[in-house]
Amino acid sequence: MNGEDKLLDESFFARETTVVARDLLDKVLVREIDGQKLWGRLVEVEAYLGPQDIAAHSKGGRRTPRTEVMFGEPGRAYVYFTYGMHWCLNFVTREAGMPQAVLVRALEPGPGVGRCGGPGLVTRALGIDRALNGVPLVPPDLYVVDDGAPKRRVFVTPRIGVQGTGRWEKRLLRYVVDSPALSRPIRRQRLRAR
């Protein structure tokens, strides 16, 4: 992480969610906590597409205390708690009023950072919890940069943990690059490259 890094700003996140998800791969998520910088390279994300998307928290336009952040400005963190023990980090996308987001599922961890092969592991390794819900993705606390690293080939699969056989469950809204840090290994034959 050096002076060449370019911060991904609000205009980056204000675009179509699937495009944001794809573009986030190979970018670097940075967390600064207690004066130390923890980071990891994004290798697995998922798009959640709002009211029409039956797997999204904002399905049907649900506007509740939990989903409120997704209805607001793009480029903020949406952090929620699940299964009694895990925090999950999302980036809010699209303009205000369109409750869409990208879930961070895996990172290639930087030096001194623990395993990040799963959404709960990412937040544990980077010290992310409800205190960061709703914060803008700007330094110093939590932000994403382009460090100029080469972009790898992107693969798409159905989203993890989304049950059912309907259209939304089958949609290829999980975006990954081939990495040992993924939450689940790629099965080459079933994979569709783009």
Q: Smaller CB distance to DNA: residue 129 or 139?
A: 129
Q: Smaller CB distance to DNA: residue 66 or 147?
A: 66
Contact mark string toward DNA, 98..137, x via CB under 7 A: ---x-x-----------x--xxxxx---------------
Tokens encoding 107: 């990172």
Distances (CA, A) of 167 to 137, 163, 164, 173, 180: 32, 11, 9, 11, 29
Is residue 181 part of the contact set for DNA (CB under 7 A)? no
Is residue 67 part of the contact set for DNA (CB under 7 A)? yes
**What distance in Å separates the CA atoms of residue 192 and residue 23, rounded to the nearest whole number?**
17
Is residue 82 part of the contact set for DNA (CB under 7 A)? yes
How many residues line the site for DNA (CB under 7 A)?
A: 36
Q: Smaller CB distance to DNA: residue 65 or 111?
A: 65
**What distance in Å separates the CA atoms of residue 17 and residue 145, rounded to the nearest whole number?**
18
Q: Smaller CB distance to DNA: residue 112 or 185?
A: 185
Is residue 148 part of the contact set for DNA (CB under 7 A)? no
Q: What is the DSSP letter of 117?
A: B
Burial per residue of 175-187, b for 16 or more beta-carbon CB atoms within 10 angstroms, e otherwise? bbbebebbbeeee
- DSSP assignment of 94-112 equals SSTT--EEEEEEEEEE-TT
Is residue 160 part of the contact set for DNA (CB under 7 A)? yes
Residues of this chain that bind DNA (CB under 7 A)? 46, 48, 55-58, 62, 64-67, 78, 80-86, 88, 90, 101, 103, 115, 118-122, 159-163, 183, 185
